[in-house]
């Protein structure tokens, strides 16, 4: 295996294909729009199904526990395929894998809309998840090749805004559709959007040459077993106790050990453990996992906190949750510009410190607090998280070699999902010990994790080179276009 090196954006500019430093305008804008449409669909479908579960369970005459698989099947299919599909993108070219993913997702949406039983709907959701896995795993690589180097931070920031806004409006979109139509339209609406996205992607997405490395089927199987068993075991342990999920967790751990031992012997492994040897990449992944754990602990605990000790209704809870994702979108736009000029370690530490302060303030809020008292604390959390996320994502993507952009993007998405899973399980454990009255404790733990992530982010300053000043012509060009 080649000796690992600490990489920067400038290290890999020569590795770009003919479309050297991003796409020219206006093709760049069409490419970004195709990427955003696909991400909007995949993120929305992760949120709208949650809102519709009671309605779907009732109309399909199934119990709520079984209906949960409508959500779990989608998330599990994404998680176990992220790294294999990212490796396939490195091998075959990102545009090709992305477009196939779009087509599969759209076909899965049609299957969901036509389903008349829990079994067919779950199968269609798995198909949707496979398509979403391709979209999410290749997303960051395509952003890297779409935007010029001087505007990459802005591109990643805009990408973060699309994701956060999609997550924020998911429940609203679902409620609006269910108020006017049957649940099948939650999925049918993806058909025209998917077809438009496919048409735009066909002519606008950047064309990259694949590495033609052989695809490692054995590693793909071990990867699926590792993440699938660990996630199922964690969910089972959180729901029924550690003994119930112990066997699955142990089997997942064994598969993980076998996967890592196999991948360490390979030059370009499917599970890119070799990239973790790049100091900036490894620390950025660690920061991402810990920060998303804190975020998800808060997201799971806050509804119980608002509707329990703080005495809010379900509608009020939804409104009080809104400032966080809106603030993420606002700060991500600012952070995207700054990430092209300043170091990710410092920006991440500032953002995560703000997140920790906001979470601590929420944990200590008075039971008689006004909505405004709660809203500014939620907004502080969102501002901090958005300010951290964009430079951290850029550090992960640009520290990897250009021909491993897919692998880096797959790791980015996997780190997010692992953190979110750990956060959900962590909050479930707190609730198992102290009931929903433990919501403030979960928020306090989340604040501690955010502070830990800030310290990890700060440690990158001893490794990261100072960002180069932009030449005047690049500064001027950055002011034009998205």
**359's tokens:** 């979470």
CA 224 to chain centre: 18
3-state helix/strand/coil string of 360-404: HHHHCCCCCCCHHHHHHHHHHHHHHHHHHHHHHHHHHHHCCCHHH
As a whole number of angstroms, the distance between CA 414 and CA 410 comes to: 6
**C-alpha–C-alpha distance, residues 107 and 103, integer Å:** 6
Residue whose entry in the numeric block shows the structure tokens 């109309």: 59
Residue 14 pLDDT class (50, 70, 90 cuts): very low
Residue 93 has pLDDT above 90, yes or no: no
The CA distance from 316 to 322, in Å, is: 10
Confidence of residue 64 (pLDDT cuts 50, 70, 90): low
Judge whether 412 and 397 are in contact, CB under 8 Å.
yes
CB atoms within 10 A of CB 465: 11
Q: Given pLDDT bands bounded at 50, 70 and 90, which one contains residue 86?
A: confident
d(CA 470, CA 356): 32
How far is C-alpha 13 from the geometric centre of its chain's CA atoms? Answer: 26
Q: Is the per-residue pLDDT at 169 higher than 80?
A: no
For residues 352 and 459, the answer to whether their CB atoms sit within 8 Å is no
pLDDT digits (tens, 9 = 90+) for 242-278: 677 788 889 989 999 999 888 888 877 888 888 888 8
Mean pLDDT for the stretch of residues 187-206: 91
Phi, psi dihedrals of residue 210, rounded to the nearest 5°: -80, 165
Tokens, residue 213: 């490395």
Q: Does residue 469 come out as left (phi exceeding 0), alpha (psi in the -120 to 50 range) or beta?
A: beta
User: If you average pLDDT over residues 172-195, what whole number do you get?
Assistant: 86
Task: Name the average pLDDT for the chain.
Answer: 82
Angle, CA 237 vertex, CA 236 and CA 241 arms, to 5°: 120
Give the single-character DSSP code of 308: T
pLDDT reported for residue 65: 63
pTM above 0.95, yes or no: no
276 and 267 in contact (C-beta within 8 Å)? no
Q: Pick the residue with more confidence: 358 or 82?
A: 358
* Residue 221, helix vs strand vs coil: helix
> Which residues, other chains included, contact 319 with Cβ-Cβ below 8 Å and sequence gap of 6+?
371
pLDDT band at 17 (very low <50, low <70, confident <90, very high): very low
| Both structure tokens of 337 | 């510009």
**Percent of the chain's residues with pLDDT above 90:** 25
* Statement: residue 305 has pLDDT above 90: no
pLDDT digits (tens, 9 = 90+) for 395-447: 888 888 877 877 888 888 888 888 877 887 788 778 877 776 788 999 999 99
């Amino acid at each position: 295996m080649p000796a690992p090196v600490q990489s920067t954006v400038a290290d890999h500019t020569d590795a770009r294909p003919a479309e050297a430093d991003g796409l020219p305008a206006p093709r760049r804008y069409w490419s970004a729009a195709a990427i955003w449409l696909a991400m909007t669909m995949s993120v929305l479908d992760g949120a709208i199904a949650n809102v519709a579960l009671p309605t779907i369970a009732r109309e399909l005459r199934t119990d709520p526990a079984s209906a949960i698989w409508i959500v779990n099947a989608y998330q599990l299919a994404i998680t176990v395929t992220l790294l294999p599909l990212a490796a396939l993108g490195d091998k075959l070219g990102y545009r090709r894998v992305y477009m196939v993913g779009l087509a599969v997702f759209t076909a899965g949406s049609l299957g969901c809309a036509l389903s008349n039983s829990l079994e067919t709907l779950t199968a269609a959701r798995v198909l949707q998840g496979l398509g979403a896995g391709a979209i999410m795993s290749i997303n960051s690589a395509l952003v890297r090749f779409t935007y010029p180097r001087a505007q990459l931070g802005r591109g990643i920031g805009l990408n973060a805004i699309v994701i956060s806004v999609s997550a924020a409006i998911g429940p609203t979109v679902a409620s609006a559709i269910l108020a006017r139509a049957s649940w099948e339209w939650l999925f049918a609406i993806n058909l025209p959007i998917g077809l438009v996205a496919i048409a735009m992607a066909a002519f606008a997405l950047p064309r990259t040459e694949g590495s033609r490395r052989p695809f490692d089927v054995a590693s793909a199987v071990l990867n699926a077993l590792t993440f699938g068993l660990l996630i199922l075991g964690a969910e089972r342990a959180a729901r029924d106790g550690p003994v119930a999920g112990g066997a699955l967790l142990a089997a997942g751990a064994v598969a993980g050990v076998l996967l890592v031992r196999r991948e360490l012997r390979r030059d370009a492994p499917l599970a890119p453990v070799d990239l973790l040897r790049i100091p900036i990449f490894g620390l950025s992944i660690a920061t991402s996992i810990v920060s998303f754990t804190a975020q998800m602990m808060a997201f799971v605990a806050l509804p119980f906190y608002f509707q329990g000790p703080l005495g809010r209704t379900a509608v009020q809870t939804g409104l009080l949750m809104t400032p966080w994702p809106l603030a993420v979108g606002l700060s991500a736009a600012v952070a995207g510009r700054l990430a092209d000029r300043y170091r990710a370690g410092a920006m991440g530490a500032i953002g995560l410190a703000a997140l920790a302060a906001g979470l601590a303030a929420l944990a200590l809020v008075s039971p008689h607090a006004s909505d405004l008292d709660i809203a500014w604390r939620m907004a502080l959390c969102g501002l901090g998280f958005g300010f951290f996320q964009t430079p951290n994502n850029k550090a992960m993507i640009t520290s990897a070699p250009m021909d491993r952009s897919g692998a880096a993007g797959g790791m980015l998405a996997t780190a997010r999902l692992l953190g979110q899973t750990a956060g959900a399980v962590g909050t479930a454990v707190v609730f198992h010990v102290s009931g929903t009255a433990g919501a403030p404790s979960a928020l306090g733990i989340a604040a501690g994790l955010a502070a830990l992530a800030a310290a990890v982010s700060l440690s990158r300053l001893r490794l990261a080179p100072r960002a180069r000043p932009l030449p005047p012509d690049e500064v001027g060009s950055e002011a034009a276009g998205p």
